[in-house]
Structure 1
Amino acid sequence: MTTHVEALAPSAAATADPQHWPDVARVPRTPLKATVARRLLRRIARRRGLRVELPNGRLLEPAPAGAPVLRLHRPDAFFHRVGMSGLIGFGESYQAGEWDSPDLVGLLTELATAPETLVPTGAQWLRRLYVKRPPAGELSTPDNARTNIHRHYDLSNELFALFLDPTLSYSSAVFATDPAGAPLASSENLAQAQHRKIDRLLDLAGVGAGSRVLEIGTGWGELAVRAAARGARVVSLTLSEEQLALARRRIAAAGFTDRVEVRLCDYRAAEGEFDAVVSVEMVEAVGRPFWPAYFATIDRVLAPGGRVALQAITMPHERMLASSGTYTWILKYIFPGGQIPSTEAIRQATARHTGLRVAACDSFGPHYAQTLRLWRERFTERADEIAALGFDQVFQRMWELYLAYSEAGFAAGYLDVQQILLTRPEPTR
């Protein structure tokens, strides 16, 4: 059944360079799978109360007032893409300008709520029609890891500076909260909230004057600077040449070149002995096959009595297991080689491969949703400046979807972020 609505204005198509965006420029033709995708979307629209608007002034299914809107500008292309490659096709269709939403985060939050229920239990076998495994060339082996990091973090320091705050912190902030515990987030207090996050992590690791600190994942150097300001000596590891150069300049400008050394180095090659190891949202880039090596390295370099403080994005263990080994749109276009862990996976990896144990966890997922909202707003407001850096419309739509998709994951509770303390238990006598 279809229902009339006001006709939609045609979407401005995102012209995709077939050399740079081959799978966005090319629309697959798969009539049977497209029919299945259309029927599945109708079911989702009915079950979730979505308003799926078609360009001929109709609705795919009747929808309640105020329902999240999925506006299809080129339905045939959308259904063929989704039928061929599922959520990868869903994302590529957005990059191509084939669908939109007046509230992208609201729509994606609804879809991220209990995502395992979107496909009927009896139709789960359909995943085999489109689900692929990550390419071997993107697994984060020592040979591949630098390429994976380069594809995201070496895009442009100027690009990141346009939407991050002045600390250039590319991870969840910790905001002050209202009496109900909701984060009080604004663009004016984002830098302060990033410092609050860093300081809590350094406190968790026990970093103070004279501490020997290893940081795995430099970012643009803000954590290393704040650790050095406490009197610590820091070795910071990165595989991003762009981040390395700018972090060194920022550390020098802060006057801490005598206390901070930034190395272009894989975590597996870390050397030395440290009182504290800190790592902010790095474990997600390691990839599940390499978590044992990641935690074993930390265990190897941690001095007796030392402490490890991680900030990690996490997901429920069952969802992690279900998605492990699946090639997703995020892996294809944003973070190749990655895998978001569960807290249980971190407990298992440390228990099986190290003497470390999880001693404490502090979760603050709503703060990440707000952090991402502020980044997304700044990103979209500065579209002209981003274009001037040489990033085309397909790239901008890709990043808008990435930021909105991530924000929705935290808003729905599908994703969480935690600061996790690892220590070596005292031997029993």
Structure 2
Amino acid sequence: MAAARGFIDPEFWPHVAAVPDSVRARMRARKAEAEFAQACEKAQLVLEGPEADLKVMEADLFLRIAQDGWLGLAEGFMAGDWSAESISDVLTRLVEAGYSPKSGPRHIYGPYDGTEIPPELVRHFSGDGMSAHGTIFASGVPTRERVSVKSFTASAGRNGEPASHFVDVTTYSSPAFVERADLKDAQMRAVSNLLDQAKITSGTHVLDFPSAGATLPIAASRRRATIDAITSSVEQAQAMRQMLALAQVDGSVHVEVFEEPLPKHTHARSMYDAVVSVEKLDKLGARGRKHYVKSINAQLSLGGNVGLQTVIASDPAGSAKARDALAVCNAYLWPAFEIVTAEQVHQLFDTHSNIRLTAQTHFGNHYAVGLRLQRETFEGKLREAAAEGFDAVYRRLWIFQLAMHEALFRAGILDAVQFSGTTRVRRAARRR
């Protein structure tokens, strides 16, 4: 292995501090370099001169790519092996050019562990200082159509139950005239739209599970709902309580910390009118998603509503591309990270719950713009983030994952959706 870089702590960043160094690794690196150059030429990316779109400062980059594919490219950026004036443009053009470096055998996956984005970090890239989720801007125009969706229930197509059902699909047109100052309102508009989809009004008893922060509970409380917000992160719970106090929210919001990342039952004596979550489904992994849906099903009252916002893949091929391109998320942020398709989300609820998803709102073009604004906001606050204890490697990690997400949205590989639905059959009364 090559010697660790002086400015990178090898204890915290072992795979960033050191790179493969052997005769075989260098032979593979030459091939990786040639493939990278071909991809850049196809993407019309300039590599040299004053007009260069990206600059490679260290040949170690190609050792990393040869070893770990897209993850190696990400770790090269984290190490400072390469840079770009507009990283999102570079990644978008590489993705659209079909660049697909092969991943190595390195194990980077694991079960959902309840990891949350540090509240101190969220403050430096969000519009309101507490929201990490995506955006719906005011300038987008929604259009709606009713489409037939395959049913995945055990009796679908038999015993008189239809093999498909109808879903109301809303799609937002691209936003216009967006500025960085619009980020806060766009994040709040996404939450407000999700609350509408889950039919949360005065008197609604809501479970925010797992909670993504204070934004949704605050918005729901202003509708005079009662909210239980569940998290496994002590730090997030503390930050939420501080935000709730600053927002002068009364006792309508209860924040609770659970030792388990996904408790099966949050409140043994509670049945909820609505269960909501913001951008958690892609962090849970296959086993976690099943557990999550079963937990919702166990606590949603008859006739209750569910609403969830998540990032999805446009198709199964897109899911595989996103898995490879976003391997850095599994390696350093969320070990169970996995992006699935809309059909897989419907199948998940049909198979593991008595909940039928009946509507979905697509806003991927808005989400991509929001990612750009979040990245630009963060890039403008790098000194503040450093003062909070986030070292240079972590700061570049966060920039890369935001830019790669944006690139996959711009390439049409990813989309953002709000799903909503309700219970579809009567269930036996639950003991209290």
Q: Normalised by the size of structure 2, how large is the TM-score? A: 0.82
**Take 2:320 and 2:251, find their aligned partners in 1: how far apart are those partners?**
47
Matched-pair contact (CA < 8 Å) for 1:309–1:420: yes
Task: Verify the 8 A CA contact 1:35 1:79 in the aligned structure 2.
Answer: yes
Over 3 Å counting, the alpha-carbon distance change for 1:97 and 1:167 in structure 2 is closer
Residues 365/217 of structure 1: CA separation in 2 closer, same or farther (3 Å cut)? same
* 1:276 equivalent in alignment to 2:246: no
Question: 2:313 corresponds to which residue?
Answer: 315
Match of 1:161 in 2: 123
Aligned twin of 1:45: 40
Aligned AA (1:23): H
Matched, 1:139 2:111: yes
1:296 is displaced (CA, Å) by 1.3
Q: Deviations over 1:326-383 (max 9, x none)?
A: 6922211232222122111111111111122221111101111111111111211112
Question: Which residue number in structure 2 is paired with residue 192 of structure 1?
Answer: 185
Deviation at 1:79, TM superposition (A): 1.1
Q: Distance in 2 between matches of 1:221 and 1:303?
A: 24
* Conservation of the 8 A alpha-carbon contact between 1:172 and 1:194: yes
User: How many pairs does the alignment contain?
Assistant: 382
Q: Which letter does structure 2 place at the counterpart of 1:153?
A: I
> What RMSD, in angstroms, separates the aligned Cα atoms of the two structures?
2.5
Classify 1:383/1:321 alpha carbon distance in 2 versus 1 (closer, same or farther; 3 Å): closer
Q: Does the aligned pair in 2 maintain the 1:167–1:194 contact within 8 Å?
A: no
In the other structure, the counterpart of 1:98 is: 81
**Secondary structure at the counterpart of residue 357 of structure 2:** strand
Contact in 1 for aligned 2:205/2:273 (Cα 8 Å) = yes
Indicate the structure whose relative CO is greater, using CA pairs within 8 Å and at least 6 residues apart: 2
Corresponding position: 1:241 with 2:213? no
| Cα 1:183–1:416 shift into 2, 3 Å | farther
- Paired residue for 1:391? 390
The SS at the match of 2:212 is coil
Instruction: Give the alignment partner of residue 34 of structure 1, picking from 25, 29, 34.
Output: 29
Residue type of the partner of 1:316?
Answer: S
Give the distance between the partners of 2:212 and 2:247, measured in 1 at CA. 16
- Tell me how far apart the structure 2 counterparts of residues 246 and 370 of structure 1 sit (CA, whole Å): 27
Q: CA deviation at 1:41?
A: 1.4
Match for residue 169 of structure 2?
A: none
**1:280-359 equivalence runs, <5 A:** 280-319=278-317, 322=320, 328-359=327-358
The answer to which of 222-231 and 175-184 deviates more is 175-184
CA distance in 2, matches of 1:321, 1:398: 21
Q: Cα distance, 1:298 vs. partner?
A: 1.0
Q: How much has 1:220 moved relative to structure 2?
A: 2.8
The answer to whether the Cα contact below 8 Å between 2:19 and 2:60 also exists between their aligned partners in 1 is yes
Distance in 1, Cα, partners of 2:343 & 2:282 = 14
Q: Aligned-pair distance for 1:170?
A: 0.9
CA contact (8 A) 2:306 2:421 kept: yes
In terms of mean alpha carbon deviation, does 280-289 or 181-190 score higher? 181-190
Shift of 1:213: 0.5
Change (3 A) 1:14 1:221: farther
AA aligned opposite 2:38: R
Cα distance in 1 for partners of 2:94, 2:133 equals 24
- Matched residue, 1:231: 224
Identify, as 1 or 2, the structure richer in helix: 1
Do the aligned residues in 1 keep the contact of 2:68 with 2:102 (CA within 8 Å)? no
1:113 alignment counterpart: 96
Shift of 1:248: 1.4
Q: Does 1:170 align with 2:132?
A: yes
Q: CA deviation at 1:316?
A: 2.6
The alignment's TM-score, normalised by the length of structure 1, stands at 0.82
- 8 Å Cα contact 1:14/1:394 also seen in 2: no
Counterpart in 2 of 1:209? 202
Aligned with 2:190: secondary structure?
Answer: helix
The letter of the residue matching 1:165 is: G
Corresponding residue SS for 1:408: helix
Would you say the 8 A contact 2:122–2:131 is kept in 1? no
Residue identity over aligned pairs, in percent, reads 29
Distance 1:248 1:163 in 2: 20
- In the TM superposition, residue 227 of structure 1 has moved relative to its aligned partner by 0.9
**Following TM superposition, by how much is the alpha carbon of 1:183 offset from its aligned partner in structure 2, in angstroms?**
4.3
Mapped partners of 1:347, 1:132: distance in 2: 32
SS across alignment from 1:16: coil
